[in-house]
Chains A and B, each alone.
Chain A
Amino acid sequence: MAAPRFPFALRHHEFCMASPADPTPLIVLDGITKTYSGITALADAGLTIAAGEAVCLAGENGSGKSTLIKILAGVEQPDSGQIRISGVAQGALNPRLSAAAGIMVIFQDFSLFPNLSVAENIAFSIELGQRRKLFSAARVRDVAQRALARVGVDIDPDAAVETLSVAHKQLVAICRALASDARLIIMDEPTTALTEREVRALLDIIRRLKADGVAVLFVSHKLAEVLEVCEKVVVLRNGRKVAEGPAHTFDAATLTRYMTGRDVAEQPPDPLDPAAPVLMNVQGLSKQGAFDDVSFDLHAGEVLGISGLLGSGRTALAKALFGLVAPESGQITLAGRAVPLGDPLAAATAGVGYVPEDRLTEGLFLTQSIVRNVAIGRLDAHGRGGLLDLAGMWGEAADWLRKLSVKAPRIEAPVRSLSGGNQQRVVLARWLARGPRVLVLNGPSVGVDVGSKADIHGIIRDLSAQGLGVIVISDDLPELLATCHRILVMKAGRITDELTGGQTSETDLAHRLAS
């Protein structure tokens, strides 16, 4: 382990021994206030973390949790308030001081170097920290192997990081933090990209770290998965701490209530007309390594859920329905007509719409105006002899934005100026303007705050009432139960279960997904 460089690091080994009951907590944040150009991000917020303790920090987008991480990481300085590390009051933290104190942040993108080896990724920061000039592959490999052994995983230290799975990349990021003598690892949305099994493996590793005296702070808006390893939960709302308590006193419902400040009770969908005709038929759709022999019917006015864990093939199937992925065999018919496979334009022309999972990279043209983001869906329809009918285009876009109650000051403003929920509605407006017959929504409320989520569910309900077929692909079980008439469960590329929306409980669905 590296030689201590700062006074508080001298007592490092004591802290390794420390139990969560140690009287001096590892980190104390007290009365932290931070404003950005007049907008309060954090108001009198506090947080205490003991060595070896796992804490959940919950909050919606904009609740101030990212600001709190940045303050801990030394990237931002609070306007007022106190930070104590191991009982020592800190002046202004900066990234270097914070890292030297053992506070390591694992960002959602892991901040790894895809072109470098696992070993180098793990050892790079300590090599830098020791101000080394020369590089020794042997030493780096050694450091990496010790960190990998401490986590107890078997990853080839010479492999390039770009060849690893997401779960392994995350482990490399954890190893990097450990190699740099982490005493607190902050994990930003750690489970979003992991499969069920990978989450289990991660939790096991977290337990080992805790036993080793390392504290963990989970920052997430999807906390149910990590609650079991946590001692404590802290909920932020509008920059204030609104709840704090032992983890076992919280469940998904109470968390949601604290995060949103209201009860969001969702009604199950209105029953489907049993005489509704079949709108879309999928027959024997297969693609090697993704999905296998998938068949189902979608009725007019029906909301069909497709769920599965990460790696179950749900996303590939969703993309295949819209031609973004070309299946090797099978057939899709819409209203009796075959939809050409593997061609998004043909799928769209046939009446299929697709709202992608990753709004920022797949859904939106961030620098372009809101109007253009809506109109791109049917530019050809606005052509008048080769010319674009700009007024008509504007009118139509404004119309749809109003119908979906998008809150935008000016519709010629860039779409990136909107909130997550409003951005999602812009993508929806784009497709609704085309008058689709089937709408595929992949993760319709990912990264959308709880209030907007309910509104989006309301929109889905309205669309189905108008006779549209809606396919919702999601791993958010309450969302599926609140919106879908029927839910198909996918596992290893196949449909393994079919459940009726109103008659299924969340535990039953969870059980079927995982079993």
Chain B
Amino acid sequence: MTPSRINGLFASTEARLAVICIVVFVAMALLSPDRFLSVQNLTSMAFQFPEFAILALAMTLTMLTGGIDLSVVGIANLSAIVAATILTQLAGPAATGADAALWLGLSMVATMAVGLAAGLFNGIAIAVFGLPPILATLGSGLIFTGIAVALTGGSAVMGFPAAAAWLGNGLILGIPVPLVLFAVLAAGLSFILTRTGFGLKVQMFGANPLAARFAAVNVTSVLIRVYLMSGMFAAIAGMVVMSRANSAKADYGSSYLLLAVLIAVLGGVNPYGGYGRVIGVVLAVLAMQFLSSGLNMMQVSNFARELIWGTLLIFVMLINTRPNLRLWARKRTGPAPNS
């Protein structure tokens, strides 16, 4: 390959990520070929990552506006607990057939309602009252978690009808349901961002909130819709976690918050807003999952994975910014976004 073609290959953040993703996959496949490439490992990976990947999608959306949603895990747990309460109190573990399906459907509707209400709360705090997103969602996240604790007294809610396990553990045409869910949500988000007026407004607002107001964009409505969607995504992630764990608890997935931020940034989303692509985030998720599964095969401890994730984040950040380090420096001195 000629130098210029190599440069071209590494021109965009997403292209670099794709290369990283492939390199990680190939490396893991070479290091432990029979186990990493086994059907069992591949399916287990497909069941594992969607729950935090969906949270990363929510994070991506809010970061595009120059905001952030630190309440996603709180929303996920709260909505899962509401769903779990319906499934245990109203349906009970013995429910089967149409009965179970009905309750499952109802619990999903309730989950979404909780997610939307939480998102609306965030959206109003940010868009109407002008709170900085990082603080608004930090506070609201504590409140959502707090409500979840107050509802359950801090203990796990369990005893669902067997049907509830389908969402987290079932297969559609041989594909794990969580993976299908994630794929649908990722494709949907990508479509919304690139092919709808709303999506373009989200990116334009992130690039320059003041100019968006001067261009007669309904800024309040765009922001509220962004946090509504984020809440909804979080609620879906909550359902998946609940179904996979076969229980719901106020402190599940607490490590997912920083992980979701990490994946979004790794995926090339500009945390100051205005740039980010879903494909980048998907590649970042896959790279992370290949890496952790591979390391798992090699008996590397769970904690080493955390170390490697952090290293990967800083490494990717370095190669992303090195060519235009001065641009970043200038950006950092510019007017502070939204705070």
Query: Do chains A and B directly touch (beta carbons under 8 Å) in the complex?
Result: yes
Q: How far is the CA of A438 from the CA of B85 in the complex (A)?
A: 58
| B200 adjacent to A379 (CB under 8 Å) | yes
| B197 adjacent to A382 (CB under 8 Å) | yes
Q: How far is the CA of A354 from the CA of B215 in the complex (A)?
A: 8
Task: List, in ascending order, chain A residues with CB within 8 A of B203's CB.
Answer: 368, 372
**Interface residues contributed by chain B, number (CB under 8 Å):** 22
Q: Which of B151-197 contact A (CB under 8 A)?
A: 195-197
Q: How far is the CA of A80 from the CA of B84 in the complex (A)?
A: 77
Known: A376-B200, A379-B197. A367 touches B213 (CB 8 A): no
Give, as a whole number of angstroms, the nearest-CB distance from B212 to chain A.
8
Determine which residue in B196, B204, B214 has the highest number of CB atoms from chain A within 10 A of its CB, and name it: B214
**A362 at interface, CB cutoff 8 A:** yes
Q: How far is the CA of A365 from the CA of B215 in the complex (A)?
A: 10
Q: How far is the CA of A368 from the CA of B335 in the complex (A)?
A: 18
Q: How far is the CA of A364 from the CA of B214 in the complex (A)?
A: 9
Give, as a whole number of angstroms, the nearest-CB distance from A444 to chain B.
15
Task: List, in ascending order, chain A residues with CB within 8 A of B207's CB.
Answer: 365-368
| B216 adjacent to A383 (CB under 8 Å) | no
**Interface residues contributed by chain A, number (CB under 8 Å):** 28
**A387 at interface, CB cutoff 8 A:** yes
Q: How far is the CA of A366 from the CA of B209 in the complex (A)?
A: 12
A364-400, CB under 8 A of B: which get 1 and which 0? 1111100010011101101100111010000000000
**A347 at interface, CB cutoff 8 A:** yes
Task: List, in ascending order, chain B residues with CB within 8 A of A330's CB.
Answer: none
| B196 adjacent to A361 (CB under 8 Å) | no
| B196 adjacent to A364 (CB under 8 Å) | no
Give, as a whole number of angstroms, the nearest-CB distance from A275 to chain B.
32
Give, as a whole number of angstroms, the nearest-CB distance from B257 to chain A.
28
Task: List, in ascending order, chain B residues with CB within 8 A of A347's CB.
Answer: 216
Give, as a whole number of angstroms, the nearest-CB distance from B191 to chain A.
9
**B208 at interface, CB cutoff 8 A:** yes
| B214 adjacent to A324 (CB under 8 Å) | yes
Task: List, in ascending order, chain A residues with CB within 8 A of B213's CB.
Answer: 324, 344
Q: Which of B264-278 contact A (CB under 8 A)?
A: 274-275
Task: List, in ascending order, chain A residues with CB within 8 A of B244's CB.
Answer: none
Task: List, in ascending order, chain A residues with CB within 8 A of B32's CB.
Answer: none
Known: A324-B214, A344-B216, A388-B195. A365 touches B201 (CB 8 A): no
Task: List, in ascending order, chain A residues with CB within 8 A of B211's CB.
Answer: 361-365
Q: Which residue of A lies closest to B218 (CB)?
A: A345
Task: List, in ascending order, chain B residues with CB within 8 A of A368's CB.
Answer: 203-204, 207, 274
Give, as a whole number of angstroms, the nearest-CB distance from B272 to chain A.
10
Task: List, in ascending order, chain A residues with CB within 8 A of B212's CB.
Answer: 365, 376
| A380 adjacent to B197 (CB under 8 Å) | yes
Q: How far is the CA of A69 from the CA of B217 in the complex (A)?
A: 39
| B214 adjacent to A367 (CB under 8 Å) | no
**A356 at interface, CB cutoff 8 A:** yes
B205-234, CB under 8 A of A: which get 1 and which 0? 001101111111110000000000000000
Known: A383-B197, A386-B196, A388-B196. A365 touches B214 (CB 8 A): no
Give, as a whole number of angstroms, the nearest-CB distance from A295 to chain B.
25
Known: A367-B275, A368-B207. A377 touches B196 (CB 8 A): no
Task: List, in ascending order, chain A residues with CB within 8 A of B216's CB.
Answer: 344-345, 347-348, 354, 377
Q: How far is the CA of A376 from the CA of B204 in the complex (A)?
A: 8
Q: Contacting B200 at CB < 8 Å: which of A345, A363, A367, A372? A: A372
**A430 at interface, CB cutoff 8 A:** yes
B266-301, CB under 8 A of A: which get 1 and which 0? 000000001100000000000000000000000000
Q: How far is the CA of A430 from the CA of B212 in the complex (A)?
A: 12
| A356 adjacent to B197 (CB under 8 Å) | no
Q: Which of B215-267 contact A (CB under 8 A)?
A: 215-218
Q: Which residue of B lies closest to A390 (CB)?
A: B195
| B200 adjacent to A354 (CB under 8 Å) | no
Q: Which residue of B lies closest to A368 (CB)?
A: B207
| B210 adjacent to A362 (CB under 8 Å) | yes
Q: Contacting B215 at CB < 8 Å: which of A367, A383, A387, A430? A: A430
Give, as a whole number of angstroms, the nearest-CB distance from B216 to chain A.
4
Q: How far is the CA of A105 from the CA of B19 in the complex (A)?
A: 47
Q: Contacting B214 at CB < 8 Å: which of A362, A379, A388, A390? A: A362
| B208 adjacent to A365 (CB under 8 Å) | yes
A278-299, CB under 8 A of B: which get 1 and which 0? 0000000000000000000000
Known: A380-B197, A383-B197. A363 touches B204 (CB 8 A): no
8 additional A-B residue pairs with CB within 8 Å, beyond A368-B203, A388-B195, A388-B200: A324-B213, A344-B214, A345-B218, A362-B211, A376-B215, A382-B197, A386-B196, A390-B195
Q: Give chain B's interface residues, CB within 8 Å of chain A.
A: 195-197, 199-201, 203-204, 207-208, 210-218, 274-275, 335
17 A-B contact pairs sorted by A residue (CB < 8 Å): A347-B216, A348-B216, A361-B208, A361-B335, A362-B210, A363-B211, A365-B204, A367-B274, A372-B200, A376-B204, A376-B215, A383-B196, A383-B197, A386-B196, A387-B195, A388-B196, A388-B200
5 closest residue pairs by CB, A with B: A379-B197, A348-B216, A365-B207, A344-B216, A362-B214
